[in-house]
Structure 1
Amino acid sequence: MGYKFIMVCILTFISCYVSAQVEDDMDMSIEGLEDISVIPDSLFEVNAPIVHKYYLGNGLRFSSPDGNYMMNLTGYVQSTFLTQTYSGDDDLYSRWRVRRARIRLNGYAMKDRIRYRIGIDMVKGSESSGDTDSGDMLMDAWVAYRPWGNSRLSITFGQRSTMTDNRENFMSSSSLQLSERSRLASIFGTIREVGVFAQGSYKVGADAYLRPALAITDGDGGFTFGKRYGGLKYGARVNYYPFGLFRDGGDYYLGDKAYEVSPKLSLGASYSYNDGTSDRRGGNSSGDILYLNEAGNVDLPDFARTNLDFFFKYRGWNFMAEYTKTWAYVPSTITSRVRADGSTSDSFEIDGEQNIENYIKNRLILGSAFNLQGGYLFRNFWTVNARYTHIIPDKYSYLNNDLYYKRNDIFEFSVAKYLTNDYSTKIQLTASFYKTDGEVRYSNGTFSGYETLFNVLTQISF
């Protein structure tokens, strides 16, 4: 049995065994002790748990009287109505959809030295599964150990969003300032991975903080029961906060609901290297694309990715800039490829000639992109936001596929009304304009110009 499969089994066993214990990246403290009710001691042989007063969006919270343990059950549902139009086509293409429906159990134990999370996605084919059937139900399943009970160091085992993605991809879907994540995030993001993650937070000046993170995963996306291919994936991220930390964990939410009273800024960079990838994104799934060497053994290209980001908030304003670049390294030992039906072929013809390296690169998400977005949250809980995304494919890249991609300039505008003083309930309208790079295909033929989407989203959290 391969060492990668053994590692995955061990991590999964740990996560399930401690399914009474996992974490949020923000500090979870026991708040509002004056607004609690206590279950009578007569119902229990030991200390009665505290049941906290319920507020919409905060979930059900239980804690021990001594503060050693806490558990929080939350969830949310998003429904959308989407209408699409295409240049030169007078028809409207519309559909209703339950975009996301999620349940999450968080908590801590041993005076916050142990944290845990179990997250379930109830919608098949949502963003948690990416291009595969993995993750259709299981989103998060991890346990974290914090030796000092604070954010100085946290070591996490299991499945979670990876810090080596772009910044937007490890923010909550319920707090997005537009109906969907950016095209940069959806194209390049690996979403969730299985492995070990280490994070720290250190004060490095009068106000400044440095938050480094390391990740070692199996590089095959969310947990599956099938064979996992390739080697390990190694990554690191560092975030620098020159003016201090965001209030209320605000660097994990796009909008400035905390109304920062002084400017807050985060400068971030990450890098990851996958030692053998069998999917297009370098770590989103396993076994999608396989190659063999002369001995008939699986031989795979390596995949690297870097991210740079800038995130700013002040008095209701928010601004974020992101840049992503990917590379592939194709071994010279590859001699054949595995077709979808399981048969093999030694044909790597591209541009009319046999070229193994370029053929393989043409099947991967290779290139770069940048994303600029910003907005303002009014005091009456109306918010307006805009975003521009530009994609730059490599010469040989799956991003040149004219059915799914080649819409390389995206302009988006959004207006939303929060019905409560947090992110729990909202109504949101987003207009997106995808400018094509020449003639491209769609379900009814070909077109050039703009693909236009109008998305009305409603959300309620409990």
Structure 2
Amino acid sequence: MKNALTLLILLISAGVTAQIDIKKTTKDNDLKLSALPYYNYGKGLGITSPDSIFQFNIRFRMQNRATYIQNEGEESAIDGQIRRLRLRFDGYVGNPKFIYALQLSFAPGDVGEIKDGENINIIRDAIVFYRPNKHWNFGFGQTKLPGNRQRVNSSGGLQLTDRSINNARFTIDRDFGVQVHNQHERMDKFSYNLRGAISTGEGRNSTDKPDNGLAYTGKVELYPLGSFTKDGAYFEGDLMREAKPKLMLSGAYQFNNKARRTGGQLGNDLFEKRDMQSILLDAMVKYNGWAFMSAYMQRIADNPVTVSPLDATDVQYIFTGHGFDYELSYLFLSDYEIIGRFSTQKVNSDIQNLAPNAKQYSIGVTKYIWEHAFKAQAELTLDDLNYLDGTSKQNWYLRFQVEIGI
């Protein structure tokens, strides 16, 4: 952490005196990568060598939040934390067609629990891309898989302070492998994108013993009315106040062969490997300050419950089931936005004695200072849990969050 902060200080110092030239990458190689839809308000801090052989851009962002939590049957609690603190580096070496992207995380919630025998998990993205033209991206390394829209979007581009309960349960996440993306986006005409990936299926920075199971992911995105302004499909809310209605429809599918973890790329280790399938469908509409999103997510697995060979009461299970998300917002001319989200989640019968069905209700207010790059958010969320034995439980929280970055 100390070394990373030292590096950041040196780079910023260099950037004050160095010639900043971010135009060496052409319009078709402007570091807008389909697999890395970070929200950008500006260009960050860019340094290009005098001979233009390499380019280096640096960005940071952080989320500071305070939360009042009231879980039924428990004492209320107050939580304050740096939820995310990230450094992002990107650029090219030798030729703008060969692009690298790195992202590191330092907040405890990002790094995750440190376990005996495992390394600190600070690497989020580390990938090299070849972009022969504006239509094709070929990537090798670790980054997000082409999954559901809310996961693919940066957490910095969210309207509310966190993603939905369905994203938490059914999403596919970062993985190491190869990706191929074919882009055909046009502003006022029917557009489409095709994406595919073959990856390890074990999640980011896995150090488990290698096996012969892989994950296969495919995704189709359709823009019947043309692409969104300023890549608006990659952030929530109609910040661009689309002059004409814009629509995105997408579907993704993943088969994860011999998965080791309860959520494929995420979760605890299973006691036995299992095959699992994920189905992820999304829709987004934006027009004149209004934005609506809907999502369907499902995970399928045979015999999802695994039992410890040493203790029959110790189980780890794949969360099988499905859920729907609905999110509606309006952005006022004052740059205040009101947001409402409703989610339902139903577990499959084979795990219903282990996990409840759930509904989640969220309302929020966001003040955009510099779009998503600098904003203040307030959110109230209620979780309604219903268990197999007929009991129910309600938990809620009130949260305030500030996000800032370059």
Are 2:144 and 1:157 aligned? no
Deviation track 1:62-103 (CA, whole Å, cap 9, x = no partner) reads: 2467877543211111111111113466x4211111111011
Q: Secondary structure at the match of 2:150?
A: helix
Of 121, 128, 135, the match for 1:136: 121
Are 2:347 and 1:393 aligned? yes
Q: Which residue of 2 aligns with 1:189?
A: 171
Are 2:84 and 1:100 aligned? yes
2:285–2:291 Cα contact (<8 Å) kept: yes
Q: Which residue of 1 aligns with 2:31?
A: none
Of 51, 59, 70, the match for 2:44: 59
Larger Rg, first or second structure (1 or 2): 1
Amino acid at match of 1:368: H
Give the whole-Å Cα distance in 1 for the aligned partners of 2:244 and 2:51. Answer: 35
Question: What is the correspondence of 1:232-381 to structure 2 with a 5 Å cutoff?
Answer: 232-284=214-266, 288-291=269-272, 300-329=273-302, 339=308, 344=309, 363-381=317-335
- Offset, 1:59: 2.2
- Using a 3 Å threshold, how does the CA distance of structure 1 residues 377 and 69 change in structure 2: closer, same or farther? farther
Percent identity over paired residues: 25
Runs of 4+ in 1 over 4 A off after TM superposition: 36-39, 55-58, 64-69, 128-135, 203-206
1:37–1:51 Cα contact (<8 Å) kept: no
- Using a 3 Å threshold, how does the CA distance of structure 1 residues 390 and 79 change in structure 2: closer, same or farther? same
Give the whole-Å Cα distance in 2 for the aligned partners of 1:413 and 1:70. Answer: 42
Give the whole-Å Cα distance in 2 for the aligned partners of 1:256 and 1:228. Answer: 44
Give the whole-Å Cα distance in 1 for the aligned partners of 2:229 and 2:99. Answer: 21
- Using a 3 Å threshold, how does the CA distance of structure 1 residues 338 and 388 change in structure 2: closer, same or farther? closer
Give the whole-Å Cα distance in 2 for the aligned partners of 1:251 and 1:109. Answer: 29
1:212–1:238 Cα contact (<8 Å) kept: yes
Give the whole-Å Cα distance in 2 for the aligned partners of 1:129 and 1:263. Answer: 40
Q: Which residue of 1 aligns with 2:21?
A: 50
1:257–1:316 Cα contact (<8 Å) kept: yes
Deviation track 1:267-319 (CA, whole Å, cap 9, x = no partner) reads: 1001010111111112326x81133xxxxxxxx32111111110111122111
Give the whole-Å Cα distance in 2 for the aligned partners of 1:312 and 1:257. Answer: 13
- Using a 3 Å threshold, how does the CA distance of structure 1 residues 64 and 260 change in structure 2: closer, same or farther? farther
- Offset, 1:244: 0.8
Q: Secondary structure at the match of 1:225?
A: coil
Give the whole-Å Cα distance in 1 for the aligned partners of 2:126 and 2:211. Answer: 21
Relative to total residues, which structure has the larger strand share, 1 or 2?
A: 2
Deviation track 1:175-212 (CA, whole Å, cap 9, x = no partner) reads: 11000011111111232111101101136997011100
1:220–1:229 Cα contact (<8 Å) kept: no
Give the whole-Å Cα distance in 1 for the aligned partners of 2:357 and 2:78. Answer: 20
- Using a 3 Å threshold, how does the CA distance of structure 1 residues 123 and 370 change in structure 2: closer, same or farther? same
Calculate the TM-score normalised by the size of structure 2: 0.82
1:145–1:155 Cα contact (<8 Å) kept: yes
Unaligned runs of 5+ in 2: 1-14, 24-39
Q: Which residue of 2 aligns with 1:113?
A: 97
Give the aligned CA root-mean-square deviation in angstroms: 3.3
- Using a 3 Å threshold, how does the CA distance of structure 1 residues 62 and 270 change in structure 2: closer, same or farther? same
Q: Secondary structure at the match of 2:349?
A: coil
Q: Which residue of 1 aligns with 2:366?
A: 416
Question: What is the correspondence of 1:164-203 to structure 2 with a 5 Å cutoff?
Answer: 165-202=147-184
Deviation track 1:140-160 (CA, whole Å, cap 9, x = no partner) reads: 000111112x1x110111110
Q: Which residue of 2 aligns with 1:437?
A: 386
1:303–1:328 Cα contact (<8 Å) kept: yes
Q: Secondary structure at the match of 2:68?
A: strand
Give the whole-Å Cα distance in 2 for the aligned partners of 1:201 and 1:182. Answer: 28
2:186–2:227 Cα contact (<8 Å) kept: no
Give the whole-Å Cα distance in 2 for the aligned partners of 1:276 and 1:174. Answer: 33
- Offset, 1:400: 4.8
